[in-house]
Amino acid sequence: MADCLDVLRRFFAEEGSGKVLTRQRTESWLPHQQTDTFYQCKTMEGGVPYIGKYVIRIDSNVTRKKHQGYLSRTEHIPFANGSWMGMLLVFSTDTGELLGWMPDGYLQRTRVGALYALAADYLARADSVEVGLIGSGWQAGGQILGLFCVRNIKRVRVYSSNSDNRSRFANELQASLGTEVKPVADARDAIAKADIIALATNANQKVMQAAWVEPGQHVNSIRFLELDPLLYESCDRVVVNRAEPWIQNYYLGELCPQDVKDAKLPAFPAGRAIEAYEFFAGQLKRVRGSEITLFPNEASNYQLGGQFAAVAGFVLDRAREKGLGRELPADWFSQTLLP
């Protein structure tokens, strides 16, 4: 996680000088025979000349909406062997060759955790010691690991709608970090008086109320549907990405999931919005201790393909240095005919 933070700091410094390239993320949706289920192919890519790498991320999934009472979640259905399809292809910008091929799951979690930690490093109070976490899944753990790299976190309170999951998550995280991680039965109890609020769910609706947020708190949110849109208006500072749209959906007729079709980004507060390109260059930070600050999902997708290129390029270089991975024949991935 600490390495990933360093990689992203360097990436955004280079990006601020116009030295990286990112292509817009795309998602393609096709029908499926099961109700509320769709085939989804997601791609994003980018190039980082300072390390000579170009990376394409490809995820191929069958996605369904799972209902829990009045709530719903989006989840990827695993294959029969319990696995998923997600990969990163790393190319050389010097020769055009395919240099490496790796799964994207662990790298994605680490990149997300490091990115939101970087945001908290700029926006959360320097004396922040307590985190209120909503979510107990794969990405939730990454949020806490990242925050540990930038603040002296002493306590974590975690809420999720599944009581068994949140208890298991809290016990495992407390054992691995040696820090108090307490499961709570109410979302508001999780975030009350916390210094940093971290939302890390796969919910299709808001998981907290904007009115619950207190002066001095910093809020991270990794999925825009989980965040109360009213929070944009009540925050003193919110990071935004004006490169819109950052995602392009392709789908057949009415077959795309309704939450994808209907998702609209909120209006950003005039005079209180920090442009992403300025923010990641480290030009703007918290001004007053009492400010409420927000780093939403929409801001985290700034130069997303390029972020993957920088992190995957770093991983590939370190794997070669350590003699890790498996060598595959180069002729599997090349041809003798001129394309």
pLDDT (tens digit, 9 = 90+) per residue, 135-168? 999 899 999 999 999 999 999 999 998 899 999 9
Q: Please, what is the Cα angle at 10 between 270 and 125, to 5 degrees? A: 50
pLDDT of residue 286: 81
At 199, which helix (H) or strand (E)?
strand 196-199
* Spatial contact of 88 and 57, defined as CB atoms under 8 Å apart: yes
Range in 151-155, 240-244, 272-276, 316-320 with the lowest mean pLDDT: 240-244
pLDDT of 7 > 90? The answer is yes
Angle between helices 138-148 and 163-177 (to 10 degrees): 30
What is the pLDDT confidence band of residue 281, given thresholds at 50, 70 and 90? confident
| pLDDT tens track for 210-252 | 999 999 999 999 988 899 989 988 899 999 886 656 778 888 8
pLDDT of 314 > 80? The answer is yes
What is the rounded distance in angstroms from the CA atom of residue 15 to the CA atom of residue 280?
9
pLDDT of residue 266: 66
What is the pLDDT confidence band of residue 272, given thresholds at 50, 70 and 90? confident
What is the pLDDT confidence band of residue 270, given thresholds at 50, 70 and 90? confident
The two structure tokens encoding residue 61: 């999934």
Arithmetic mean of pLDDT over the chain: 91
pTM exceeds 0.75, yes or no? yes
| pLDDT tens track for 254-264 | 666 666 655 66
Average pLDDT (132-137) is 95
pLDDT of residue 252: 85
Range in 156-170, 185-199, 268-282, 316-330 with the lowest mean pLDDT: 268-282
Place of tokens 């001004």: 287
What is the rounded distance in angstroms from the CA atom of residue 137 to the CA atom of residue 187?
15
What is the pLDDT confidence band of residue 177, given thresholds at 50, 70 and 90? very high
Out of 50-59, 252-261, 279-288, the most confident range is 50-59
pLDDT of residue 111: 97
The two structure tokens encoding residue 64: 């369904």
pLDDT of residue 208: 95
- Looking at the DSSP bridge assignments, the partners of residue 75 are 64
pLDDT of 265 > 90? The answer is no
